[in-house]
Structure 1
Amino acid sequence: MTKKNLHVSLDPEIYETLHETANMNSTSMNAIVKESIISYLHQTRSKQLLNRSNFTFIDLFAGIGGMRLGFESAGGKCVFSSEWDKYSQETYLANFGERPAGDITQIDEREIPDHDVLVAGFPCQPFSLAGVSKKNSLGRAHGFKDKTQGTLFFDIARILDAKRPKVFLLENVKNLRSHDKGKTYKVIIDTLKELNYHVFDEVIDGSGYVPQHRERIFIVGFDANIYKTAPNFHFPESNVKYRVRDILESTVDDKFTLSDKLWLYLQAHAAKHKKLGNGFGFGIADLNGATRTLSARYHKDGSEILIPQEKKNPRRLTPRECARLQGYPENYKIVVSNTQAYKQFGNSVVVPLISAISREMIKAMAVDERKVENVV
């Protein structure tokens, strides 16, 4: 095929950004431009397909709506949300115009609207298997209700059982697999399969979507009553490199700079643990790379992610920078105190990663339900 030439004039700023990105990825500017165009066309085509799907979803353990943003970007409509924390409810209300229902354990699953997709970033809890072997010996059925009763995963299971969404996405910390010597994860996967879902799972690092190392486990399921064979679903992959410096605010109040007392304490604390061989300490961010994982404890001292400053002590990220580090849009409203904002973003998800997973889920749904003939 004969190649076609296209001449484009670029602003100096865009040209320099392309040049810098090419150097950072050890490739040519032409390759970067080509990849960007292909990616844009792919996403545009995907959005057209996804918007036509007009799927509905529910947002459980919703936090401040990071999962919701991801699925809305894929053309979904949220028909129900649940979050018990009052401060997170305030942030959710400010950004989505609705206050989530409260404690999911007190909500009757029959009152939840029908939906295509269930989304939940649920807390990790151990399961008690006491009594199961006894019930087996007596020939009595126990099933997921007995195995998971008393945990928050039980509430997901009972909703899946009652409402039968076509697909679900669950998100949790990477260590869920090893939690309680693997017993917790085994109960979860066995329960989802017992509920007759095809299950896919993978640990993904958010650094392919934002400048932050954030490994989380994602579990996707497709209703086997609808999809007789396991769908052709694949988790997304991204090798794009992002830089911390690109999410930093140009002007930052001095209140975010560590005091001499705190800075001296963190250095002494790190030196002490290094001497003991523990390797624990603060983290000065590489501005041309990715940060450590942002946690809910960031409000305490900001030690895991500190931003270097010339002739000054390092500083912690601002709440807006934390929002950017998680991939939230610039128009996302922060309506709570800095302390609560740090907790909320530290507990949240990488929004662009959720968007990428949701697109793959909906494309798999569309193909297997013969909604489209070809998916780009």
Structure 2
Amino acid sequence: MTTCLANVLEDIPDQHQKKYPGKLPLLDFFAGSGLVSYALSRYFDLVWSNDVCPKKADVFRTNYPDKPFKLASIAGISGDDVPAAALSWASFPCQDLSLAGPAKGIRASRSGLVWEWLRVMDTMKQKPPLVVAENVIGLLSTHEGRHYAELHNALMSRGYRVGAIVLDAIHFVPQSRPRVFVIGVDVHAPRLREFESNGPNWLHPLAVIRAAAGVESFVWWNMPQPRNRAQNLSDIVDLTIPCHDAARSKKNLALIPLNHLLRLNECGLNVVPGYKRIRQGRQVLELRFDDVAGCLRTPGGGSSKQFLVIRCGSQWRTRLLTPREAAKLMGAPRGFILPTSANDAYRAMGDAVAVPVARYLAKSLLSKIAAVSYGHP
């Protein structure tokens, strides 16, 4: 079935169309610092958002003072308080699904808040025809895909056709940050066959394929591959920022494993990123040599902050990645206002979705599906 986008836009409910001409309404659950809302703003207009963290709420409201934001636990939100929308997005907490943690699962206290998201939509007067749940790769891989299967089946039981994809920020910015996007569309909405394939494609690494094998009616979403990114880490690091002094740099450099130290002196790079980790009972500073940053984290532990090893003449010095550099790695807009506290700024970025990833997903897939599903009988 072929549908003209212009005709669909004409069918958007009049009240919303008068306020937001040409765009579709968006709900942003677990909105954090607002990078998803910003990324999707070219194609969707935010009509409601929420988060429980006051510090993230401050970042959101500082950068988007005219956008609706409700500071509250999702557990206390009723569907009666949420307006109708074309897309409901939920970047629900990842702590219980992360491979770096105990992986308590999708029924645990934090990651289990995804069920509150579903409860809210169950009680809305009009169910959003398009939903996206975003999380870490552990959603697919922990406990042999059981957690993904629970979410997949829960969405199917609510009348959605469901599939998952993996998008890595490395396609757009010099940061390795793969994330899972579970996408569901109303079963009654017209199907756009060009956005589905008959089996795995570039969006479906092995973790997706294995998870798909454990569920029924998996949708293999498809969209064009992005162009190669334009920048490497070396292009965004500010070399005018002072490094640690010689003594502190020497202490950090002493933590580099011998094989990494040999590569450091031969790699030809001027900037090399790394994380401190515990290996065989001792702390080490592990580096990567592809001119790409490791996945940004929240500042919750001793190994959470990313280090830079920088060539200074004939010597190497160290320093931490700055909050502003972290913002660049997330694709945040140039004028994005960060908290004055470095830890709060790291948290605002490390717990977010990279802007160009969400924007590409909206441009290449979500906006097309939403256009034919919103307001459809």
Same fold by TM-score greater than 0.5: yes
Kindly state the Cα deviation for residue 243 of structure 1 after the two structures are TM-superposed.
0.5
8 Å contact kept, 2:306–2:320: no
Q: SS of 1:159's equivalent? A: helix
Q: Output one character per residue of 1:163-193: Cα deviation in whole Å (capped at 9) or x when no partner.
A: 3112112110011112234221111000011
Tell me which of 173, 179, 188 is aligned to 1:216: 179
Specify every segment of 5 or more residues in structure 1 that has no aligned partner in the other structure, as ranges: 1-50, 130-147, 372-376
Change over 3 Å in CA distance of 1:95–1:192 after alignment to 2: same
Change over 3 Å in CA distance of 1:326–1:95 after alignment to 2: same
1:361 correspondence with 2:322: no
- Structure having the larger proportion of residues in strand: 2
- Give 1:238's aligned residue: 226
Kindly state the Cα deviation for residue 268 of structure 1 after the two structures are TM-superposed.
7.0
Kindly state the Cα deviation for residue 161 of structure 1 after the two structures are TM-superposed.
2.3
Q: What CA distance in whole angstroms lies between the structure 1 residues aligned with 2:247 and 2:344?
A: 19
Q: Choose 316-325 or 339-348, whichever is displaced more.
A: 339-348
- Structure having the larger proportion of residues in helix: 1
Change over 3 Å in CA distance of 1:175–1:262 after alignment to 2: farther
8 Å contact kept, 1:292–1:304: yes
Q: SS of 1:266's equivalent? A: coil
Kindly state the Cα deviation for residue 121 of structure 1 after the two structures are TM-superposed.
0.5
1:156 correspondence with 2:145: no
- Give 1:115's aligned residue: 85
Q: Output one character per residue of 1:229-258: Cα deviation in whole Å (capped at 9) or x when no partner.
A: 476433452241430122222521446999
Match runs of 1:1-376 below 5 Å: 53-74=22-43, 76-97=44-65, 99-124=69-94, 125=96, 126-127=105-106, 151-163=112-124, 164-225=127-188, 227-229=189-191, 232-233=194-195, 234-241=222-229, 242-254=231-243, 259-260=248-249, 262-263=251-252, 266-267=255-256, 276=280, 281-284=284-287, 286=289, 289-297=291-299, 300=302, 304-310=306-312, 311-359=315-363, 360-366=365-371
Change over 3 Å in CA distance of 1:159–1:230 after alignment to 2: farther
Q: SS of 1:53's equivalent? A: coil
Kindly state the Cα deviation for residue 304 of structure 1 after the two structures are TM-superposed.
4.3
Kindly state the Cα deviation for residue 266 of structure 1 after the two structures are TM-superposed.
3.3
Q: What CA distance in whole angstroms lies between the structure 1 residues aligned with 2:111 and 2:304?
A: 34
Kindly state the Cα deviation for residue 218 of structure 1 after the two structures are TM-superposed.
0.6
TM-score, normalised via structure 2 length: 0.69
Q: Choose 362-371 or 159-168, whichever is displaced more.
A: 362-371
TM-score, normalised via structure 1 length: 0.69
Q: What CA distance in whole angstroms lies between the structure 1 residues aligned with 2:169 and 2:179?
A: 8
Larger Rg computed on CA atoms: 1
8 Å contact kept, 1:80–1:112: yes
Specify every segment of 5 or more residues in structure 2 that has no aligned partner in the other structure, as ranges: 1-19, 97-104, 196-221, 262-275
Q: Output one character per residue of 1:188-216: Cα deviation in whole Å (capped at 9) or x when no partner.
A: 00001111111121112110010111111
Percent sequence identity over matched residues?
23
| 1:240 counterpart letter in structure 2 | N
Q: What CA distance in whole angstroms lies between the structure 1 residues aligned with 2:164 and 2:185?
A: 12
Aligned residues: 300
| 2:64 counterpart letter in structure 1 | F
Change over 3 Å in CA distance of 1:102–1:240 after alignment to 2: same
